[in-house]
Structure 1
Amino acid sequence: MDLRHRPRRLRRDGLRDLVSETQLQASDLIAPMFVDATTDEREPIESMPGHERVPVSEAVARVEEIQATGVESVILFGIPEAKDSRGTRAWAEDGVVQRALRRITAETDMFAITDVCLCEYTDHGHCGVLDDGARERWEGAQTDGGIATNERESSLTVDNDATLDLLGKIAESHAAAGAEMVAPSSATDGMVGAIRETLDGTGHTDVPIMSYAAKYESAFYGPFRDAADGAPAFGDRRHYQMDPANADEALREVDLDVEQGADVLMIKPALPYLDVVQRVDERTDQPVAAYNVSGEYAMLQAAAEKGWLDIDAVAHESLLSIKRAGADLILTYFAEDVAESL
C-alpha cells in the first residue's frame, strides 16, 4: 500500500485553518428585515423563529441589534398600511420602507438595500399589475366570492411591460429616501434596464442594482410570504418566475441582466440551486449573491427544535456551502447568529 500521500496530514489543528479553501465572514452576509406599517410593536414571525416584524419607530433599534453582531448590510421589506391593485404604496414618499430608510440612513452607518417589487403592496399579491383581462376577472371575483377554478386562475397574468414603469418609480423613491442599493425581485423581463434608466434619469447614477437574476418558482418561500404578507391571492407565479427544472435558462437571464446594467447578480433560492450559483460565478466577473431563503431557514430551525440537528453547526455549514459554490454575498436569516460565531 502506497501511503506517501496522506491528506489527513493537513487536517490537524493549527494547520487545518491555514489550508482552508473557503472563508466565511460577517461582511459576506446580508440580513433581511421586515418593517411593518400596521403595528406599533414588534411582532414575532411564527414560521421564522427569532425574527420579527418591526414598526417604523423600531427600525433604527433593530438595525443597531443587527450591526452589533458584525453584519454590515440589511435588506428591507415593507408591509404597508393599505394595498390596492397597482401597489401604489410601494413608491409613496411616506411609504413604510421610505420612512424607515430615512431614519436608518440618518442615525446609523448600516448599508441599506431595498427590495423592489409589488407583491407586498398589491391586493392580489402578484409581483406586478394584472393585464386587462386578468384585472377584469380579479375585480369580478371580489364580488363573486373568489376565483373558483384552475382554468380561471391560469388565465390571470401579470402585464410585464406595464409593470416596468412602476418598478422604476419604486426604485427611484427608495434611492431618494437613502437606499444605497436596490434589489428588483419581481422577475419582470427588462426590469434592470427600466430601473437603471429611471435611476440615471433622476440623478441616482451611483445607486447600484442587485438583480434577482435567476429567481425560481420555489416551494421554499412559504415563511417569507407569511412574514411579508405577500402570498398571491390566486394562482401562482409560474408564468414569471423560473422553472426549477431549468439551469441553462438561468444563464440567459443573467446575461440579459448584465447587458441591462445589473451590478450584482442574485440566485434565489440558494441551497437547492448551488449548481446555478456555481455556473453563474464561472460565467461572470461580477459579484454573485445567493438568497438563503425562509424555507431553508425554517426547515433547519424545525429540525433543531426536534433535537435532530445542532442549529449553529448546520447554519454555518449551509452558508459555507453557498460561499464555496461561488457566492460573494449571502442573504440569510441566519446572518446574526452566524456572524456572532465567526
Structure 2
Amino acid sequence: MSFPITRLRRLRGNAGIRNLVRETRLSVNDLIYPLFVTTGTGVKEEIPSMPGVYHLSLDLLEEEVREVSALGIQAILLFGVPDTKDEAGSSAYAEEGIVQQATRLIKRVTPDMLVVADTCLCQFTSTGHCGVVHYDEACGTAEILNDESLALLVKTAVSQAEAGADIIAPSNMMDGYVAAIRSGLDEAGFTNTPIMAYSVKYASAFYGPFRDAAHSTPQFGDRKTYQMDPANGREALREAESDVLEGADLLMVKPALAYMDIIRALKENFDLPVVAYNVSAEYSMVKAAAANGWVDERAIVLETLTGFKRAGADIIITYYAKDVAAWLREN
C-alpha cells in the first residue's frame, strides 16, 4: 500500500496547530456597528424585521454607546430617523439634525469612538429617494436629478463634519458625489476627514429590513437608475475607479454576501481599504433561521464574516458587531 507524500491533515490535527496556520483572522478592530437614532425620549423600539436592532432616542444613546465601547468596538455607523421630512431633505443638513445631535453626544461620551456618518437624503426626503426629484407632469414621469442632489449632499457632509463626524460615508450613488463632497469638505476646512465611499452599491433585494429601520422606502418607483444592476461586475470596477480618482479614502461593497467576487475584485485592483457591508436581510435571514433552530447562529455569523475577510474585506459593517465582539473575547 502506498501513502501520499503530502498529508495536509497534519496541520489540522488539533486546535493549537489550526490556530498557528490560520490564514484569515477576524478581529474586533475590523468591525463597525450601525445605529439608528431617532427623536423623542425614552424610545427603544425594536425593529420588527431586525430582531435585536433598535431605534434609540438620544437620551438612551449614551448607555448604548458605552456598551459598544466596552466591547472594544471602535466605530459606529450612524443613521438618523427624523421626525420631519420634506422634498429637499433639509433635516439631513440642519445644525440640530438628529445625526448631528447624536454625533456630538457620542463624541462627548466616548471621544475615541469613531463616528461614521451616513451621508444620504433618503431618510430625510418625503419621496424616500436619495436626491432631488424633478416631476414632468406632462409626461407623468419623475427623475432623480444628479447634479442638483450633489449640492445638498455636500451641505450634509459639511454639517456632519462640523458636528464631529470622523468619517463621511456617502451612500447615494450619484455620479461625481465623491469629488463634490471632497471639494466641499476641503473648502470648509475638513481636509483630514476621510470619505468612505459606497462605491459599489447594488439595487438589491437585501435592503428590505433596513428600509423598515430607516423609514426610507421610496414613495414611487425604485432606485435602479442610480444603484447598480446586480448582474454587473465590470461596472463595479468602473464605479470604484471613479471614486478613487475623485479622492475616496475607503471603498465599500454593499451588500456583501452575494457579492464576495466584487470584494475580491476591488481588493485586487485598488490599493485602498475595502469595506464590506453585511446588510439587513443578511442579518435577518440568519436571525430567522436561528430562531427556528435551523442553524448555529454563532458559527454561521463567524464563518460568514471570516469569508468576507478572506475575500478581501479590511473592514466589516455588521449588525452582529456586538455579538461578534463578545464571541471573539470568549475564543
* TM-score after normalising by structure 2: 0.96
Q: Give the corresponding residue for 1:53.
A: 55
Identify if the C-alpha distance between structure 1 residues 248 and 219 changes in structure 2 by more than 3 Å, giving closer, same or farther: same
For 2:66, the aligned partner's letter is: E
Q: Distance in 1 between matches of 2:98 and 2:157?
A: 14
- 2:286 counterpart of 1:300: yes
Q: Give the corresponding residue for 1:5.
A: 6
Can you list the C-alpha shifts for 1:14-40, whole angstroms capped at 9, x where unaligned?
110110000000010000000011553
Runs of 4+ in 1 over 2 A off after TM superposition: none
Q: Distance in 1 between matches of 2:287 and 2:142?
A: 35
Q: Give the corresponding residue for 1:142.
A: none
Q: Give the corresponding residue for 1:143.
A: none
Q: Give the corresponding residue for 2:119.
A: 116
Q: Distance in 2 between matches of 1:179 and 1:201?
A: 16
Question: Is the CA contact (8 Å cut-off) linking 2:78 and 2:117 kept in structure 1?
Answer: yes
Q: Give the corresponding residue for 2:29.
A: 27
Q: Give the corresponding residue for 1:144.
A: none
Q: Give the corresponding residue for 1:145.
A: none
- 2:81 counterpart of 1:95: no
Question: Is the CA contact (8 Å cut-off) linking 1:70 and 1:339 kept in structure 2?
Answer: yes
Q: In structure 1, list runs of 5 or more residues that go unmatched.
A: 138-150
SS at structure 2 position matched to 1:189: coil
Percent identity over the alignment? 51
Q: Which moved more, 1:105-114 or 1:115-124?
A: 105-114
For 2:49, the aligned partner's letter is: S
Within-5 A mapping of 1:177-192: 177-192=163-178
Question: Is the CA contact (8 Å cut-off) linking 2:30 and 2:315 kept in structure 1?
Answer: yes
Q: Distance in 1 between matches of 2:208 and 2:70?
A: 29
Q: Give the corresponding residue for 1:18.
A: 20
- Cα drift, residue 129 of structure 1: 0.7
Q: Distance in 1 between matches of 2:180 and 2:205?
A: 29
RMSD: 1.2
Within-5 A mapping of 1:145-156: 155-156=141-142
Q: Give the corresponding residue for 2:197.
A: 211
Question: Is the CA contact (8 Å cut-off) linking 2:207 and 2:280 kept in structure 1?
Answer: yes
Q: Distance in 2 between matches of 1:301 and 1:114?
A: 26
Q: Distance in 1 between matches of 2:325 and 2:5?
A: 39
Question: Is the CA contact (8 Å cut-off) linking 1:70 and 1:340 kept in structure 2?
Answer: no
Identify if the C-alpha distance between structure 1 residues 158 and 39 changes in structure 2 by more than 3 Å, giving closer, same or farther: farther
Can you list the C-alpha shifts for 1:250-295, whole angstroms capped at 9, x where unaligned?
0000000000000000000001000000000000111000100000
Q: Give the corresponding residue for 1:141.
A: none
Higher strand content, 1 or 2: 2
- Cα drift, residue 2 of structure 1: 3.9
Identify if the C-alpha distance between structure 1 residues 39 and 159 changes in structure 2 by more than 3 Å, giving closer, same or farther: farther
Q: In structure 2, list runs of 5 or more residues that go unmatched.
A: none
Q: Give the corresponding residue for 1:81.
A: 83
For 2:262, the aligned partner's letter is: V
Question: Is the CA contact (8 Å cut-off) linking 2:35 and 2:77 kept in structure 1?
Answer: yes
SS at structure 2 position matched to 1:131: strand
SS at structure 2 position matched to 1:164: helix
SS at structure 2 position matched to 1:50: coil
Q: Distance in 1 between matches of 2:82 and 2:61?
A: 14
Q: 2:269 aligns with which of 263, 271, 283?
A: 283
Q: Give the corresponding residue for 1:146.
A: none
Question: Is the CA contact (8 Å cut-off) linking 2:41 and 2:59 kept in structure 1?
Answer: no
Q: How many residues align?
A: 325
- Cα drift, residue 107 of structure 1: 1.6
SS at structure 1 position matched to 2:156: helix
